[in-house]
Chains A and B, each alone.
Chain A
Amino acid sequence: MAKTIWAVLQHRDGELSRISLETLVAAQQLAQLVEGEVEAVLLGADVAELAQRAAAQMAVSRLWVADHPALATYTPGPYITVLAAAIRDATPAFVLFPHTYQSMDYFPRLAHDVGGALLPTVGAFRLVAGKLVWTRPVLGGKLQADTRVKGDGPVLASIQAGSFALDRLQRGTSPVQPLPVDLGGIPADREVLGVEQAAAEEVDLSKAEVVVAVGRGIGGADKMGVVEELAAALGAEIGASRPVIDNGWLPRDRQIGSSGQTVAPRLYVAVGISGAIQHLVGMKASGVVVAINKDRSAPIFSVADYGIVGDLHEVLPALTAAIREAKGR
């Protein structure tokens, strides 16, 4: 029997998210490796029209749709209940989720509930001696780990943004099939009170032409002078990685990354930033990337165009001076 691979699709404002389509690409590529077939799963309220539109452009054996008012606002209970029943019923071998905060809020618990193997943040997979090997970042992205699944329960994995190129998506048309929704037995242990902006949005980095982004390597709020000087010389906005914000060295509206702003400047200078994926998703659309870091093996160098390996406290003043000199000419 062919193995079934599910791609769980996430949507917002009536559109599938980009990372959901990337997850579908991952499912299609996995299907080629294991000679399986792909099915997609969509959950929501009033999603019939979205489902029809989606089914008209994707090559899957089936698009399962759970359409129910209780699935309008995400809460883990209904999502887990619907998917757990569906997984038990249809026994897919693999269930792939887009690696988003929403998936991460519920799919580990779902994996536990269905007795599956749990693999968050997968960036690649391949066959080694006939066995599937899954690659995911460990140690803050400083290393990549090859991981193997034991046992024979379903494998639940989340797929990192940007890992599977959308131009590889196989398009086609697919039949839509409703997924039963039985929400009995969900404890009433949670009430959603509302959604609000996390930070005052006084700084809009998304339009900045040049960004100097500072990371934990700066070492403290009192050491920010060298960064300010460089930013002034470049006419740049200052952004930061999350730990700089969490430590209170800069205000939260300067944060770049998955829980901060997304930027796409012509020039991005990363200073004392290691290059964790949660940071990279916020800056990967930048034009030219410069990294300054004392650690030659920091993952930021694998996305940079130019790099200087050294102590930022020495490199930045030198760089500021060199820029002033060049601009003075």
Chain B
Amino acid sequence: MKDIDIKYDHHLEEQKKSKLEIEMKKGKKEVFDLGQLKSGGYIRQRQKGLFTVRLRCPGGRVPVERLKKIVEAASKYSKRDYVHISVRQSIEIPYVDYRDFSKLSDELGKVGQKIASCGPRVRVPTACSGCEYNPNGLVDAQKLCQEIDQKYFGIQCNHKFKISLSGCPIDCFRTNEMDLGFQGAVEPIWDEETCTGCRICGYACREGAITNDVQTGKPVIDRSKCLYCADCIRACPTNSWKEGRKGLVVRVGGRHGRHPMNGAVIAVFLPEEKMGKVIEKVIEWYNKEGKDKGRVRIGDILRDKWPGFIDFIKPVLGDYAIKNPKRPEYIKIHSFQTGWMPENSVIEE
């Protein structure tokens, strides 16, 4: 029954082995460049000649009209009856014959639905629903996500480069696991004049940062415990807790996967309009330092060149840079495994 034979290499990621030869039974032969295919979000499956097509759904937001078209196209071109929602919020259409690629992308293109990417480049950014309707949201993560997608999606890097956004410190989008992550934060400022000492803020604070005076009920805040979540601001009946500085916590060098790393916080309350510049500069540094290093994530390079990175990025972060930022750290999740794991040794500076 099979009408095509495919010879392939297992290490798809390696450029030199990235040619995929597809031979039709009738003697017709075509060579696909897998590198190119992956840059277009076409992922080879175990099944010969079949691919998973990853769609570009920044922030996991898919307009209903597009969704209808996706359903239509999936019914037509997938050899299965489902789509897969990837962990990074993209819809994937599995079991697509490579010969249908252009028809599929043309059809989706009619409603503006684009194909995502894989491989060594800036990936589709992910984000929570953000402040637009989530009561916890402090910044408009969706808006910023679409902005990142428009400007930075697909930029070539040494390795994959993942960006995510969380609207608040609950950090549903795990900005600590991203090559670059942005999370909303608000600094609470207290106004003594209007405070009635009702103690609600002390109950609202889940970090133990606010204690209310036993007699007067007036709050005292321990800033070292504050997460900048704004619970006190929202809870206060008299608006005596107000918004101070508001912006983004910036984390860099995180990743999940085999050897997870916890991204390092480098800035707090970064204004939204400075986000783009930070992305550009971090990628610039990554591509410069990563030159000739092959497939290596930014976190690994940061482990080696942290002081140099901080010197480079500080002027971009300005007043929002945190003092003495710590390098990204390995997180051990496979506690049974011994051997390879580098220790989080202190580098002498």
Does A pair with B? no
